[in-house]
Copies of this chain bind each other. A is one copy, B any other.
Amino acid sequence: MNTWGKNIKISIFGESHGPAIGMVIDALPAGLILDMDEINKQMKRRSPGRNNMSTMRKEDDEPLILSGVFEGKTTGAPLCIMIKNDDTNSKDYSKIKNTVRPSHADYPARVKYKGFDDYRGGGHFSGRLTAPLVFTGAVAQQFLAKKGIIVGAHIASISDIKDSAFDAVDIKKDLIDKIKIKDMPTIDDNAGSLMQEAIKKARANGDSLGGVIECAAINVPVGIGEPFFYSIESAISSLVFSVPAVKAIEFGAGAAISKMRGSEANDQYYLDENAKIKTESNNNGGILGGLSNGMPIIFRAAIKPTPSISLEQHTVNIRNMEECSLEINGRHDPCIVQRAAVVIESCAAIALFDLLIGEGIL
């Protein structure tokens, strides 16, 4: 299902090696001045080919707006963006049509679509399809910013190298702003350098690394979210799990909360110096019963190591049904975690945007 949203509707399209990828975003409020510089900055955080940590595929990822914007402002009609695929190199992929790559979507996609899917570069399952999500997330963030809501993400870890964590009860806008302009979006630059080293080493070994993204949203009003099937956790996770490579998500204290006693886990209330209701801890990640409680919304998404590695692997040729070995020698990322931070951030922004639209707040 390539359409998402309860109040807005986003519809994603495109394949890695087709003419273009893009998205239609419906039900944007009219009258927002689109800050294209800000959008392009976010797009750049994801785009490949910028340094030796990512794939050599070079894409400008310039979003062409086909509709929904007039004289620089949203019109209220659907906004369609198209991003052309320039640097496609489809020859690399022809041989993998039948030799399905381990941990890629190849095998189930080939079965599901009866062999008719565009298999080149992962086709519609390519991580490249996250570019329109980043565009949409950037637009959503501009709407959210009007209400003071800020969303940001940093690399919590790559392999076993950890960044500092967000302070669960007090995250400053300044910190988020600073992270967004870094090549390695970490709180601690030293951790960022170690991560870069590790990525280069993995590349040299023909191997790849995974990691964890931590994302937060601050200043979300109390009472956003819906009971049951559109809890904030449901909304965010349904989008985050649409990003290829995410295998886990946890909110607040996350999996660790299962080992706490209630007396430790419960976030007790107090009144701060402005007589605002706050909680002393934030083990629930700002969400109770699916609804925001005014504390920072915090979650972490675990990203698997890039499945494309040049080391020899064991697989099956699904045409002749024979086992075989495979070395993947195309252009690929030894680690996508640093590029994925802005994608996860975008998912959170889109989910919150949709929920706030539903409340009539934006």
Contact = CB atoms under 8 A, between A and B. Distances in A.
Interface of A: 1-4, 6-7, 9, 11-15, 18-22, 24, 26-27, 30-31, 64-68, 70, 73-80, 82, 100, 102-109, 111-114, 116-118, 122-125, 129, 157, 159-160, 202, 207-212, 222-231, 233-235, 237-239, 241-242, 244, 246-255, 257-271, 275, 277, 279-280, 283-285, 288-294, 300, 302-309, 311, 313-316, 318, 321-323, 358, 360
B11 A78 contact: yes
Contacts of A159: 258-259, 261
Nearest to A307: B266
Contacts of A279: 102
Contacts of A1: 6, 9, 26-27, 226-230
Contacts of A271: 316, 321-323
26 contacts: A1-B227, A2-B26, A2-B27, A2-B77, A3-B11, A7-B358, A15-B77, A20-B66, A22-B80, A67-B124, A70-B118, A77-B118, A102-B267, A102-B279, A104-B288, A107-B269, A202-B262, A207-B262, A229-B239, A229-B242, A247-B285, A255-B300, A262-B307, A263-B309, A269-B315, A271-B316
A316 B15 CA distance: 49
A178 B263 CA distance: 34
Contacts of A64: 19
A321 B275 CA distance: 8
A109 B248 contact: no
Nearest to A300: B255
B208 A284 contact: no
Contact of A314 (B207, B223, B269, B305): B269
B261 A202 contact: yes
Contacts of A117: 30, 70, 75-77
Contacts of A160: 259
Contacts of A226: 1-2
A102 B268 CA distance: 5
A67 B15 contact: yes
Contact of A257 (B207, B293, B305): B305
A57 to B, nearest CB: 18
Contacts of A307: 262, 265-266
Given A75-B117, A75-B123, A314-B270, A242 B231 contact: yes
B258 A302 contact: yes
A2 B279 CA distance: 28
Given A13-B80, A250-B255, 6 more contacts: A2-B24, A12-B229, A18-B67, A112-B224, A113-B223, A247-B283
A226 to B, nearest CB: 5
Contacts of A19: 64-67
Greatest chain B CB density within 10 A among A76, A224, A308 is at: A76
Closest 8 CB pairs of A and B: A105-B289, A360-B360, A112-B223, A248-B250, A208-B262, A1-B230, A108-B291, A233-B241
A75 B300 CA distance: 33
A13 B3 contact: no
B262 A253 contact: no
A252 B247 contact: yes
